[in-house]
Structure 1
């Protein structure tokens, strides 16, 4: 039995940790040649783990918001594996959580937009032609439920992710007839390096049980759960899915919760 990405080549940005790392490992398990891309040296450990397990992976360090780095990344995929079938533009930053809305500076906004929105644009721009030449495939971008409405992240982060949602819709239309699909995953609260300070703070305060309590699943997500959704969108199982934003958030975005009522949330009152 072959995997869902058998003989496919996939680039994953932000692959050194969290959702990107989980996706690199999963995509490899499903048969993909993986190019793991990140600005930290830990990306080499991820590629090494894949190769040790019998997969095929290459680690490349670089900046997902730099056009020259993204262009070189796509060319490396061609040179190493002879083509490209999947681009998972996952790299992102929060931009910090210091102060509030009016404390943010234009520089804060510029850097977040550069990585979180211009980065996925560059991924589409440079990967799409090569994916088309390789016989078609998929581009998946990591947005966030924070891009749907206020309350799930800092303003600059939320705005950047709203942009990603529109980007995949626009790109899907621009790539009509090319055989290249473009979709987004929208994680809710997920335990990654980005959210580590919040998780650590909750655990230190003995409030870990409150993490994720505003969604119907009553918990936070795990990177492998987001990776599974990205794998679906990257595979031929999603061959008729295009221009969509798939929320993986425990049901958070199905409502507008602000607080839980007192009592046991698992049991309705009589």
Structure 2
């Protein structure tokens, strides 16, 4: 019960990492406010006791203000904000991407977490401290893991948490990012479904040393740790959870127990 009597907001909780996190935080005693643009967020909180579901746009300032206000009015304050909502923006290259696509990806993926920090930070300070988590991506570390707009937005998230950690100095509010690799979520579901239809599910995640894709729960467990007092000295960091994908530049990978060439 690491989060007993703690209030936790999770965006993008209608599926995938956000849904898994909502359930894990609730199991640890948290008062969860789960939000998503999709009505599926109501399914997430079903069976989670007093958890609250709210449909909202994570990149809209009025909606973020309403989300924080709802959590504080319902539970008396805020301890953790997990800014997890995001969109992929598709696979268009730099020369094929419209300004509108770039604007929308940056609005949700980067401005959204900035709004979370702006409006949640002061309320968490009022509680004497807590945690803000943002979902970034291995695509924010280097090229090759996402489209240009998505990758740039996630690189921005990594710098954002570093900057926010500095600006929240002495407040006892820690700000960190999680950088998932290939995870089966609502955003990647089409690729997973296609691979299964083609009988190639075993090819998913084959570029990392574990040779598999990750599960939402594997990211949610890291979020749970980073938000807990067990991570009390972790601040301004980007934690990579990718099966080892980012440990190497792309190469012809060696098979375990076999010569490299």
Note the aligned Cα RMSD (angstroms): 1.1
Alignment-derived partner of residue 96 in structure 2: 103
Q: 2:177 aligns with which of 177, 184, 201?
A: 184
C-alpha displacement of 1:258:
4.4
Per the alignment, do residues 40 and 19 of structure 1 end up closer, same or farther by CA in structure 2, a change over 3 Å counting?
A: same
Which string of whole-angstrom CA distances, capped at 9 and with x for unpartnered residues, describes residues 162-204 of structure 1?
A: 0000000000000000010000000000011111111112222
Q: CA deviation at 1:225?
A: 0.2
Matched, 1:158 2:151: yes
Counterpart in the other structure of 1:93: 87
Q: Where do 5+ consecutive residues of structure 2 fail to align?
A: none
Q: CA deviation at 1:269?
A: 2.5
Does the alignment pair 1:201 with 2:201?
no
TM-score (norm 2): 0.97
Q: Is the 8 A contact 1:9 1:84 kept in 2?
A: yes
1:123 maps to 2:121: no
Is residue 11–residue 34 contact of structure 1 (8 Å, CA) maintained in 2? yes
The answer to whether the 8 Å contact 1:44/1:59 transfers is yes
Aligned counterpart, 2:42 = 44
Change (3 A) 1:84 1:63: same
Asked whether the equivalents of residues 214 and 258 of structure 1 are also in contact (C-alpha less than 8 Å), the reply is no
SS in 1 for 2:95: helix
Retained in 2: the 8 A contact 1:117–1:164? Answer: yes
Is the contact between residue 13 and residue 89 of structure 1 (CA under 8 Å) also seen in structure 2? yes
Residue 6 of structure 1 deviates from its aligned partner by 1.2
Q: Which of 44, 62, 66 is the matching residue for 1:68?
A: 62
1:269 aligns with 2:248: no
Q: 1:11 aligns with which of 9, 12, 15?
A: 9
Taking structure 1 as the reference length, what is the TM-score of the superposition? 0.94
1:239 equivalent in alignment to 2:237:
no
Quote the Cα distance in structure 1 between the aligned partners of 2:257 and 2:213.
20
Deviation at 1:13, TM superposition (A): 0.2
1:198-237 aligned at under 5 Å gives the runs 198-237=191-230
Count residues in correspondence. Answer: 260
